[in-house]
Amino acid sequence: MSPVGSSGKKHSESGTARVLGSGASGILELFTFHPVDTVAKRLMSNTERIFGGSQTMSQSLGKLNQVVFREASAKPTLSKYFSLFPGLGYAAGYKVAQRIYKFGGQPVVRDYLERHHGQSFTRAFGDRNGKAIMHASAGSLIGIGEVMLLPLDVLKIKRQTNPEAFKGRGLFRIVADEGMALYRGAGWTVVRNAPGSFALFGGSAFVKEYMFGLKDYNTASFMQNFFASIGGAVASLTVSAPMDVIKTRIQARSFDNPESGMSIIRKMVQQEGFSSFFKGLTPKLLVVGPKLVFGFTLAQWFIPTFDAMLKGSSASSDVT
């Protein structure tokens, strides 16, 4: 996949392989990390002491069970597990669509840039730098277009941070009522995604090019993809942190009480200082980072794997 892909002279995966690989990575990422995210949010929202005081260990564990699993605390293990997927519809819709669009779409843009502008990148940056920057540029362009998925992201964030906004209203009612308000923060999303996606795909390409010396990124092993994803994820989260803080604050507000990005920036500078633009970066690297590394690694590995499987199946059909 792209940064997995290399030059136009090298092998390029089929569109089907890109959709299957990126979609599979999104589904696995969702089912792996959504329960962890739910547990974290339930523990953070709990205001009572769980351990310590005069409670015995048995009582503390019982309270922990109630806080984490809530109504399912007395149910069988499988029921407890499924209780950790509240709001899964919004999360699934956004996560799978985003991963297919981002990880499956970036190679398409990369191929276009290579066919029509490959020589320009080489002349401007040299052979090796040009290839890495072309991957990064394709990522940046695909990141800008990700604004199309903004309504799903807005609904997911509000579901997590402002559930009162959903009281008495279903999905279609909210869409009908809010309309274009669901695209609130679109400009800031573009400003955040452009450098963030540039750093994600560019960082991964840089690691493969300069640390592993790969000429064809499709030949990367699973572990090489893993370390390349770490490089891309850390670069992406760090670069996009200020815009992400602004975007999240815009989207977390009630539908009927919006606030502009510039107003939020002024308040942050005046009341919290410039360090506020990097609030949450450390926990984000520790919590969001592994999710991004997980999904990106799987996508980079799945896409060429599915492509080989599909081509092998096609070859078998031709023989028979």
Distance CA 273, CA 277 (A): 8
List, for residues 116-159, the tens digit of each pLDDT value: 999 999 999 999 899 999 999 999 999 999 888 888 777 766 66
Query: Quick one: tokens of 153?
Result: 């992201």
Distance CA 227, CA 210 (A): 12
Q: Is the model's pLDDT at 2 over the cut of 60? A: no
What CA–CA distances, in Å, run from 62 to 67, 73, 129, 296?
9, 9, 57, 37
Determine if the peptide bond prior to 3 is cis (ω within 30°). yes
List, for residues 257-279, the tens digit of each pLDDT value: 677 778 888 888 888 777 778 87
Residue 223 pLDDT: 95
List, for residues 189-220, the tens digit of each pLDDT value: 888 889 999 999 999 999 999 999 998 888 89
Q: Taking the model in full, what pTM does it have?
A: 0.74
Which region, left, alpha or beta, applies to residue 64 given φ > 0 means left and ψ of -120 to 50 means alpha?
alpha
CB-hemisphere CA count at 13 Å for 85? 13
* Cα of 163 vs its chain's centroid, Å: 22
* Cα of 70 vs its chain's centroid, Å: 28
Which region, left, alpha or beta, applies to residue 273 given φ > 0 means left and ψ of -120 to 50 means alpha?
left
List, for residues 17-48, the tens digit of each pLDDT value: 999 999 999 999 888 887 877 777 677 657 67
Most confident of 10-14, 82-86, 103-107, 167-171: 103-107
Residue 50 pLDDT: 83
Q: Is the model's pLDDT at 63 over the cut of 80? A: yes
**What are the backbone angles phi and psi of residue 50, rounded to the nearest 5°?**
-95, -50
Residue 200 pLDDT: 96
At 214 the three-state DSSP class reads coil
96: nearest Cα among 31, 179, 183: 31
Exposed e or buried b per residue across 206-227, where buried means at least 16 C-beta atoms within 10 angstroms of its C-beta: bbbbeebebeebbebeeebbbb
